[in-house]
């Protein structure tokens, strides 16, 4: 080590004072540049944080302004038309406005005042006026909900409501103007710091190029090696992606074939129950009725017993019809999906004493047979789960159809459950998921204990039908 230092000293002396000064300068300039750049970068980070905070306040103010307009529009729409969608929009917007107003107060709590319009007290006053405006709107909507529309409209048309709205708008505009000015100042400060950093880096760049010249060949070799590795890795990834896509397509097709196979077996069993068992039960009922007529006068006790047996047979025939319908929904091929879902939901609601809310498209809507069967089975499975476990009082079903997708939403107000603690052998929800994903659909379950279950299913209108068997639905 000592010999190396002596050798380095001799080499430096041999360079001459000009080269020694240049080498010393080449070392000191990058160090000084790094120190100054670090200081300026820290300042730029502070400026960036200030810009982000200012931009966040601007966005929050715009969002608050938009929400206030939406709430007022929803309120007036509800008072004019009385439609539920306006009331729902109003109820959903108000909590967001209150939350956002509170967040604005917190955002301005630590902001240094920059003039009368960028003062935390202005935001606090804005929050107070928003609270007054929301309270006034709540009173009007409350009158409307109680049926007193005229009184609600009179309250809305008072000067106080317009004065509050105008004052809120002016305060928000003033805050936005102050924030825009502050944002411009902060951006100018950041641009100035960035200019200083660039100038320092440019000053040291010439000397750095001298050091880079020695590394150029090594770097070019390393880059060539890295490029070759990247190409090989890209080709390998492409091969793996192709295999994954192939296997995914195969699994989806297998899942669809499995579902269609199950439906074929169900349809076969339903036909056998309908034809064979139905014939047997009907013939038995006819024979018993004949015996009952023959013994009605001579053996009344036996006739009464046969009458009870006939009633039991009627119950068996009804049970057989219900089982056949659950195995193979003949309503689908006869009346279509919309009528079948309506009938299924109404029968389930009647059996379980539910309050039913249906939002279905027109019954003339044309839907593919396989899609119709999948949607029907998902609704059927959901209603069965609700009847067994949910202890619900209200069930809502919404079906929306467009050119690209079918969206199905089902919700109950039952006991709910924790999705994270759901056992793996829960076949009902897994069956719904498998039916949807088999054709490239998506399923989302939302539930918490005491909050019921919400199911959203999104299915594509177009999918691979090459291996489907239409006879399943016949």
pLDDT, tens digit, 9 for 90 and up, residues 207-240: 657 655 654 554 466 567 778 888 888 888 888 8
Is the separation of the CB atoms in 104 and 64 below 8 Å?
A: yes
Work out the end-to-end distance of the chain between its first and last CA atoms, rounded to an integer number of angstroms.
Answer: 92
Beta bridge partners of 406: 401, 459
> Which three-class secondary structure string do you get for 268-311?
HHHHHHHHHHHHHHHHHHHHHHHHHHHHCCCCHHHHHHHHHHHH
Are the CB atoms for 393 and 413 separated by under 8 Å? Answer: yes
Scanning the structure block, which residue is given the tokens 């068997």?
469
Residue of 228, 233, 255 lying closest to 432 (CA atoms): 255
Mean of all residue pLDDT scores within the chain: 77
Please report the domains of the chain, with CATH numbers, ordered by start residue.
Answer: 15-226 (1.20.120.1730), 331-473 (3.30.565.10)
pLDDT score of 238: 86
| Spans of the chain, pLDDT less than 50 | 215, 218-219, 466-474
Angle at 273 between CA 267 and CA 274, to 5 degrees: 85
Cβ(282)–Cβ(310) under 8 Å?
A: no
Query: Which residues have CB under 8 Å from 278's CB, separation 6+?
Result: 317, 320
Residue 129 has what pLDDT? 82
CB 79 within 8 A of CB 149: yes
Tens of pLDDT along 308-354?
A: 887 787 777 777 766 766 666 767 777 888 888 898 899 889 989 99
What is the pLDDT at residue 64? 83
- Quickly list H helices, 328-426: 330-335, 337-352, 369-385
CA–CA separation, 422 vs 426, rounded Å? 7
Q: What is the pLDDT of residue 412?
A: 92
List beta partners, residue 445: 455
What pLDDT does residue 305 have?
Answer: 79
- pLDDT for the residue numbered 469: 41
What's the predicted TM-score (pTM) here? 0.42
CA angle 262, 361, 74 (to 5 degrees): 130
Determine the pLDDT at residue 219: 44
């Amino acid at each position: 080590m000592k010999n190396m230092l002596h050798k380095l000293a001799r080499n430096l002396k041999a360079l001459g004072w000009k080269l020694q000064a240049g080498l010393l300068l080449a070392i000191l300039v990058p160090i000084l540049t790094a120190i100054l750049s670090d200081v300026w970068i820290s300042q730029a980070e502070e400026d960036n944080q200030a810009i982000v905070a200012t931009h966040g306040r601007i966005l929050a103010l715009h969002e608050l302004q938009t929400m206030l307009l939406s709430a007022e529009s929803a309120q007036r729409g509800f008072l004019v038309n009385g439609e539920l969608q306006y009331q729902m929009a109003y109820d959903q917007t108000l909590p967001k406005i209150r939350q956002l107003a509170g967040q604005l107060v917190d955002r301005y709590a630590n902001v240094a005042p920059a003039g009368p319009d960028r003062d935390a007290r202005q935001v606090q006053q804005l929050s107070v006026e928003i609270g007054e405006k929301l309270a006034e709107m709540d009173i009007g909507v409350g009158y409307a909900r109680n049926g007193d529309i005229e009184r609600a409209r009179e309250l809305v048309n008072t000067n106080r409501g317009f004065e509050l709205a105008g004052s809120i708008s002016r305060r928000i505009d003033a805050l936005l103007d102050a924030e825009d000015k502050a944002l411009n100042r902060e951006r100018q400060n950041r641009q100035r710091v960035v200019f200083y950093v660039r100038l320092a880096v440019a000053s040291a760049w010439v000397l750095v190029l001298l050091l880079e010249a020695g590394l150029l060949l090594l770097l070019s070799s390393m880059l060539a090696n890295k490029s070759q590795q990247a190409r090989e890795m890209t080709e390998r990834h492409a091969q793996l992606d192709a295999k994954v896509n192939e296997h995914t397509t195969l699994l989806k097709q297998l899942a669809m074939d499995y579902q269609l196979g199950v439906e074929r077996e169900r349809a076969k069993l339903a036909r056998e129950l309908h034809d064979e068992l139905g014939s047997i039960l009907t013939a038995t009922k006819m024979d018993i009725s004949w015996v009952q007529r023959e013994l009605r006068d001579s053996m009344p006790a036996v006739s009464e017993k046969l009458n009870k047996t006939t009633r039991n047979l009627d119950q068996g025939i009804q049970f057989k019809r219900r089982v056949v319908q659950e195995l193979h929904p003949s309503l689908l091929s006869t009346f279509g999906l919309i009528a079948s879902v309506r009938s299924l939901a109404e029968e389930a609601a009647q059996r379980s004493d539910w309050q039913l809310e249906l939002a279905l498209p027109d019954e003339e809507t044309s839907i593919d047979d396989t899609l119709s069967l999948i949607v029907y089975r998902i609704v059927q499975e959901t209603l069965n789960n609700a009847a067994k476990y949910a202890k619900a009082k209200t069930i809502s079903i919404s079906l929306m159809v467009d050119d690209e997708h079918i969206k199905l939403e089902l919700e109950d107000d039952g006991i709910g459950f924790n999705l994270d603690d759901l056992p793996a052998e829960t076949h009902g929800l897994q069956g719904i998921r498998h039916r949807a994903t088999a054709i490239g659909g998506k399923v989302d379950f939302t539930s918490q204990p005491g909050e019921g279950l919400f199911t959203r299913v999104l299915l594509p209108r177009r999918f691979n039908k090459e291996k489907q068997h239409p006879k399943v639905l016949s």
